[in-house]
Amino acid sequence: MFKKVFSFKKIALYLSVILITYAATTFYFEPYNRAVKAVVYKYGSSGNIVVEIQRRLKAWGYYTGSLDGAYGYGTYLGVKNFQAANGLTADGIAGNRTLTALGINAGQYSEGTAAAAQGGNTQYQSNNNDVTLLSRLINGEARGEPYEGQVAVGAVIMNRVRDPRFPNTVAGVIYQPGAFTAIVDGQINAEIYPSSIKAARDALNGWDPSGGAVFYYNPAKTTNQWIWSRPVIKVIGNHRFCK
């Protein structure tokens, strides 16, 4: 009889431990699970983030539909084509990496904001998106270079934005087809260094160590004869900055 009571108590103790562990684990990881789900957009999704995805895809020629906030087949194809062109897994799903490549910080777009529902941004949101995207481009193209050289790469982007020969937005310049190796080989999605973020902010704030350059190249890595013909303004680290 004693052994049966002891066995029952032992089983009850085990069950209690299992239940407590399950409850604690669920409580601890639930916010993380919600966060992960919150930044995945796919066929059937809707809302302001989808509007912003559509707006950017349309601006870059990957989407031709309306900004209706409905993740339909056209949006799916647009995302898939964008991913294929930029070294991402072409699955048509806008997860963390794809949103980052698009320059979208999902947390900035409130689902209750009428302006966002129309595809509009505040200046703060635009600037913050530019910092994110520019820092990733600098990171992919110039991490390991002297800090001045990292800022100079960012400055080239900003110089192009102001030059009528190039698109007039940071995203437009960065995603111009074939413009930057980091887009082609996927290095724009590499783990980001803090210096790249700081360099992006400095470039956006007007520091231009490149001397007004709109091109740059690493002579040890390029075989493009045209870029070699450009007049060199400055050499910083492994990069030559050109007119």
Q: What is the phi-psi region of residue 83: left when phi exceeds 0, alpha when psi lies from -120 to 50, beta otherwise?
A: alpha
Side chain identity, residue 160 = R
Does one domain contain both 205 and 149? Answer: yes
pLDDT given for residue 92 in this prediction: 93
Alpha carbon distance 81, 95 (integer Å): 15
135, part of any domain: no
- State which residues form the domain around 70: 48-117
Does one domain contain both 237 and 159? Answer: yes
103, part of any domain: yes
Answer yes or no: is pLDDT of 182 > 80: yes
Q: What is the phi-psi region of residue 212: left when phi exceeds 0, alpha when psi lies from -120 to 50, beta otherwise?
A: left
Check the CA dihedral 110-115-121-124 and report its sign: negative
The alpha carbon of 155 is separated from its chain's Cα centroid by a whole number of angstroms, namely 19
pLDDT band, residue 230 (cuts 50/70/90): very high
Strands 215-217 and 232-236: unpaired
The alpha carbon of 95 is separated from its chain's Cα centroid by a whole number of angstroms, namely 10
Alpha carbon distance 12, 15 (integer Å): 5
pLDDT in tens, 33-49: 444 444 789 988 888 88
127, part of any domain: no
| Average pLDDT, integer, range 138-157 | 96
Neighbours of 78 (CB within 10 A): 24
pLDDT given for residue 96 in this prediction: 87
Mean pLDDT, rounded, of the chain: 80
pLDDT given for residue 234 in this prediction: 95
Side chain identity, residue 241 = F
Does one domain contain both 190 and 111? Answer: no
SS3 229: coil
225, part of any domain: yes
Does one domain contain both 181 and 104? Answer: no
Note the pTM of the prediction, 2 decimals: 0.53
125, part of any domain: no
Contact 188, 136 (CB under 8 A): yes
123, part of any domain: no
DSSP code string of 128-168 = HHHHHHHHHHHHHHHTTS-HHHHHHHHHHHHHHHHSTTS-S
pLDDT band, residue 28 (cuts 50/70/90): very low
Q: What tokens were used for 63?
A: 């989407």
pLDDT band, residue 115 (cuts 50/70/90): very low
Contact 121, 56 (CB under 8 A): no
pLDDT in tens, 54-105: 988 988 889 988 888 889 888 999 999 999 988 889 999 999 889 888 888 7
Contact 50, 65 (CB under 8 A): no
Q: What tokens were used for 171?
A: 């995203």
Contact 166, 160 (CB under 8 A): yes
Q: How many domains does the chain have?
A: 3
pLDDT given for residue 157 in this prediction: 96
Residue 132 burial by CB count (10 A; 0-12/13-18/19+): exposed, middle or buried? buried
CATH of the domain at 179: 1.10.10.2520
Answer yes or no: is pLDDT of 51 > 90: no
